[in-house]
Amino acid sequence: MSILQDSAIVLREYAYSETSQIIVFFTMTAGKVRALGKGIRRGTKKRFASGVDLLDIGKVTVQGRGERSGGLATLTEWKQTRCLSGLRESLHRLHGAQYVAEVTAHLTEEWDPHPGLYQQLEASLALLAESEEPLLALVVYQRALLRSVGSLPVFDQCVGCDRTTELTHFSTLDGGMICSNCAPRHRETKPVRPETLAILCDRAKGTASEGAFALLNHHIAHLMGKMPALAPQLIAPARLATGEQRGQES
């Protein structure tokens, strides 16, 4: 059995018994890794603190096959190296961080390396920890995640006819934007505002948009087969703040 020593972020954690945990790590060089931490909830000064928490960042050592075997690796050492305490100072920040952990856990495969995505995840969590408005960091991360797993939609041309103008609708089933001429021929479309499209095409850098977040979340939910649990807490407050109503276009 191989030993993995790597930087890692905790995406999920479950109590396994009174003293143990099952932990889903996202590691720098191996991607998503599920590990059993035997006795970790009682902890020792040398090996563990008392349990491992969601969104912790640190150095992990696991023992396992190092391949997609479907089994659990064994956690042998964990040391937290970075504390983003700001994530827990605001419910909106915490919901944003939990959202990125949830969608990352769902859309990545075990033992499938995404080193660039790992770096973006850590950077996004750090930005969320200091931000009063998490949507900008979330949209950047949504795009990075979809690009890394090969599911980033086409935003700069119509997926029906390759037209680059009058892109008015989005189809998650077809994987991208639809022009006004093609829209009537597609059964699943969502209207998109020009300002939202500019953000999705990365033409409006540094701009937060509830519409862009909602559209990318719509596509992520389709890939996951369900709505991310924290998405409603992130979308609804922004709508109330801007006076937008449910059902409006993105």
Q: How confident is the model at residue 241 (pLDDT cuts 50, 70, 90)?
A: very low
Q: What is the pLDDT of residue 41?
A: 65
Proportion of the chain above pLDDT 90, given as a percent? 72
- Whether 240 has a pLDDT exceeding 80, the answer reads no
Closest CA to 214 of 196, 187, 241: 196
**How high does pLDDT run on average in the chain?**
88
Tokens standing for 101?
């952990």
Measured CA to CA, the distance from residue 191 to residue 179 in angstroms comes to 10
Q: Between 111 and 250, where is the model more confident? A: 111
Q: 125 with 97: CB under 8 angstroms?
A: yes
pLDDT tens digit string along 143-191?
Answer: 999 999 999 999 999 999 999 999 999 999 999 999 999 999 998 899 9
CA distance 149 to 116: 11
Per the model's pLDDT, the better-predicted residue between 214 and 235 turns out to be 214
Residue 51 has pLDDT above 80, yes or no: no
Tell me the residue type at 137.
A
CA 53 to chain centre: 17
247: left (phi over 0), alpha (psi -120 to 50) or beta: left
Question: What homologous superfamily is domain 2-83 in, according to CATH?
Answer: Nucleic acid-binding proteins (2.40.50.140)
- Reported pTM: 0.88
Assign domain 87-242 to its CATH superfamily: Recombination protein O, C-terminal domain (1.20.1440.120)
CB neighbours of 224 closer than 8 A, spacing ≥ 6?
103, 106, 107
Domain boundaries, the chain: 2-83, 87-242
